[in-house]
Structure 1
């Protein structure tokens, strides 16, 4: 689950991570009143969407008068903001964050993500604050400091010293402030079951203080039951409607840009299926994991969600029958075609318990648009061929 910048900063405040003062607004008039309440003579008007790169897309602008705050808020609210993370379809801006100006001396990057290979949270820092971290990683990987923190010992002084030395922070007071901030961010990460925290930029002011000028956070959906306060921050208008509907039926669905719909059980097999489709010259239209208990209802709902995408020209069903027998899955697929109008070729590869019986059931049904595959490679090739023929 993702949250907005202003919500991330509310959480930052609970852990002592300093940010500029700001107030959320839904109308240009409210934005102007917020500027009045904040005081000062410089404000930043920030679009609030679940995506990075807002500044480059025209969603973050500086205002030097309350009238300009109102004017910029009017321009940004209701705009379809396109960034490198939204895709070409962009996102509708429904609220803006009015924030006081800051005295910026330097810009840094600070973030925490889970490194699944190391099985530990990794703190990343860089002197290239304000830049896209992906671009920095590609062009100047030596400028990114990565420090894995073993949860068994937690954030220690040596972690902090490695960070400040790597960033070239030499002033003792500034070193102490930065280490305290990094420690607080790590505590926040663990205590809230976060998946990712990113501050870009983290600024240093003329007084040597560090402020989170931006904030981006995502959380483990499976842990939200422990964090009702974070669950309450969910903005469903920012989430893909099909992904949200799929989750209500226990399906893990992510929309992609290709032409071949994928229905698979197990995240690892789903990733392997998409890779094989790409290898065979096709493009997957989605990631869809139906879990370990595929039945007629879940398969039918999967078909329904996949076929909402007008680009889909074929569907590849790749199921491994371990706990669930393949013959039951085959009957479930046939029943699902009665529940949902499946108007594209469906290539089915079933392996595991009773796979032979399942193949016979599908062939005996004699449904023209259901094509039985022998293995993963054969199924992917047939799916790509069917999509191209369509």
Structure 2
């Protein structure tokens, strides 16, 4: 809450601060009596509005003259003339905006002989939670400009609340302002008084600009601007009585009746949000998409339907609003309460601008249902980003975009069906055999021969390492499928055997030089399948790491020469003994490397030598 200059000086005077004598007037007819009371010979006539920059401001009306909102008068008649020109007219300053503020009060005070001007203010430092002093030798000026142009001329320090204002704080102020002797002692007294008043009245900001040294050697508070912590006003009824509602926005006054956090802004999109953080994010994203918010409005966490209705009415009462965005995340706040409040307000005041509603959280489905069944032209939004874009587009386009129908959920297919669609026929067929190593066999990319695949699939792959007779390279691709199936068949055995590399090596080597044609001879696979389980178990004890890898390399070279005629004749024959592959489960328990050992014996000597 803000108060006028004359009220601030009266309050500081109660604590002992040195201020000039003055009289506040509300009518031009009171100016003469006030001037006589003060005596003169110099008077200062000051406009009383809740804004800075009054001295450099200008009145909108020509009748007010060319001078600003603070004028020096050297006679009682001049005081009267200034009062008539200023009261009731609109003063525009850098802080009021182009609309300005109407001057309804004047403060007439004694003039001062100024020797030096300083700047001194106090505020709450949000980082430390302490009262901080801001001191500068550049008084009577815009402190923001000083901070920007000559920041070295500003001194800031904070006061520990446990100790309060101490003599060393006073010395810091005096040193910064260049005060010595008696003026340094006066600075200590004045700064201590200001600290006491600041804490006692729960102020949020106290600005003295300027703090002057008169030609008589006195330190004096020439101007004062004070604002209070609104959350602490319940402790200060005397401060509340100083409130001037004519200086406040009517919408803000109405919002305060319902305990709504409302601040009017200059944009075109009205916002109703719950939670200050979400509200700030909403303002930012509206700005991001090219528009400006018309207000900050936080309905709070436990708003009632009546409160929401009041909030909506306040937003629609602003003539600058061209669109409304309702953004509610229901934690404590319930979405259905927001929905009913919005509908109640719309029915009362009507809906003349686009309205985008984004609801999420507690009772969100109930809230959406209420709005959906209301028949109102409300634009639904899925999230904050979507809501911001929709309201900005609606405002810029002059009309709200048609709400999109909810998208139908795509039909989901079973995982097995999806995989079957994406994989080639050969992969899908191989998967049905239950093999777990199918994805690792490079030969899968070769075209498959369907007929012999089933029979060959049951034969152990290690037998495929056996060398074959030379064959034509041109016919090699036709028998790639048996090799692929053969490589996959002993998956269970490979899982238990410590020779995964051995299972992969033949397939990769065979596929590298001729698409795995070496796997064609199924006769070699059949005897391996007939081997008794006991023999296989015995073979498991023999480490076959070296032989397992040797046949892979050895078999790879002669594999490319396997005759096509022998393949066609032998592959069908393998179908019969393939039934004998039933004991493969027993053989599967034996290491796969053992199965490759016989093949190593038949491999060329050159292949063994390399290993």
**TM-score normalised to the size of structure 2?**
0.62
**Shift of the alpha carbon at 1:362?**
3.1
Q: Which residue of 2 aligns with 1:75?
A: 85
- For residue 337 of structure 2, the aligned residue among 314, 328, 338 is 328
In 1, Cα distance between the equivalents of 2:21 and 2:276? 41
**Shift of the alpha carbon at 1:168?**
2.0
Aligned CA-pair RMSD: 1.6
Q: Which residue of 1 aligns with 2:271?
A: 262
SS in structure 2 at match of 1:254? strand
Q: Which residue of 2 aligns with 1:177?
A: 186
- For residue 94 of structure 1, the aligned residue among 90, 104, 107 is 104
**Shift of the alpha carbon at 1:366?**
4.4
Does 2:158 correspond to 1:148? yes
Matched ranges for 1:47-126 at <5 A: 47-57=47-57, 58-126=68-136
Q: Which residue of 2 aligns with 1:43?
A: 43
Matched ranges for 1:100-249 at <5 A: 100-169=110-179, 171-249=180-258
Measured against aligned partners, the alpha-carbon deviations of 1:237-263 in whole angstroms (never above 9, x if no partner) come to: 111111101111121211111110010
- For residue 314 of structure 1, the aligned residue among 305, 313, 323 is 323
**Shift of the alpha carbon at 1:200?**
0.7
User: Is 108-117 or 191-200 further displaced after alignment?
Assistant: 108-117
Consecutive unaligned residues in structure 1, runs of 5 or more? none
SS in structure 1 at match of 2:290? coil
**Shift of the alpha carbon at 1:181?**
0.8
SS in structure 2 at match of 1:155? coil
In 2, Cα distance between the equivalents of 1:116 and 1:229? 27
**Shift of the alpha carbon at 1:325?**
2.5
In 2, Cα distance between the equivalents of 1:126 and 1:304? 46
Consecutive unaligned residues in structure 2, runs of 5 or more? 58-67, 399-611
Alignment length (residue pairs): 388
- For residue 371 of structure 1, the aligned residue among 366, 374, 379 is 379
**Shift of the alpha carbon at 1:150?**
2.4
In 1, Cα distance between the equivalents of 2:121 and 2:11? 15
Q: Which residue of 2 aligns with 1:380?
A: 388
**Shift of the alpha carbon at 1:364?**
4.3
In 2, Cα distance between the equivalents of 1:87 and 1:222? 27
SS in structure 2 at match of 1:323? coil
Q: Is the 8 A contact 1:264 1:270 kept in 2?
A: yes
Q: Is the 8 A contact 1:45 1:99 kept in 2?
A: yes
**Shift of the alpha carbon at 1:264?**
0.8
Whichever structure has more strand as a proportion of its residues is: 1
Structure with higher Rg: it is 2
In 2, Cα distance between the equivalents of 1:46 and 1:328? 49
Measured against aligned partners, the alpha-carbon deviations of 1:108-138 in whole angstroms (never above 9, x if no partner) come to: 1111112222222211111111111122222
**Shift of the alpha carbon at 1:90?**
1.0
**TM-score normalised to the size of structure 1?**
0.95
**Shift of the alpha carbon at 1:360?**
4.4
In 1, Cα distance between the equivalents of 2:313 and 2:201? 35
In 2, Cα distance between the equivalents of 1:334 and 1:229? 40
Measured against aligned partners, the alpha-carbon deviations of 1:346-375 in whole angstroms (never above 9, x if no partner) come to: 11112222334533443344422x111111
In 2, Cα distance between the equivalents of 1:348 and 1:300? 15
| Greater length-normalized contact order (CA 8 Å, ≥ 6 residues apart) | 1
Q: Against the structure 1 CA distance between its residues 163 and 382, is the aligned structure 2 distance closer, same or farther, given a 3 Å change threshold?
A: same
**Shift of the alpha carbon at 1:40?**
2.8
Does 2:30 correspond to 1:30? yes
**Shift of the alpha carbon at 1:189?**
0.7
SS in structure 1 at match of 2:115? strand
Q: Is the 8 A contact 1:300 1:340 kept in 2?
A: no
**Shift of the alpha carbon at 1:99?**
0.8
Q: Is the 8 A contact 2:312 2:342 kept in 1?
A: no
SS in structure 1 at match of 2:282? helix
In 1, Cα distance between the equivalents of 2:315 and 2:375? 23
In 2, Cα distance between the equivalents of 1:145 and 1:311? 42
SS in structure 1 at match of 2:112? coil
Q: Is the 8 A contact 2:211 2:221 kept in 1?
A: yes
Whichever structure has more helix as a proportion of its residues is: 2
Q: Which residue of 2 aligns with 1:9?
A: 9
Q: Against the structure 1 CA distance between its residues 64 and 290, is the aligned structure 2 distance closer, same or farther, given a 3 Å change threshold?
A: same
In 1, Cα distance between the equivalents of 2:187 and 2:220? 10
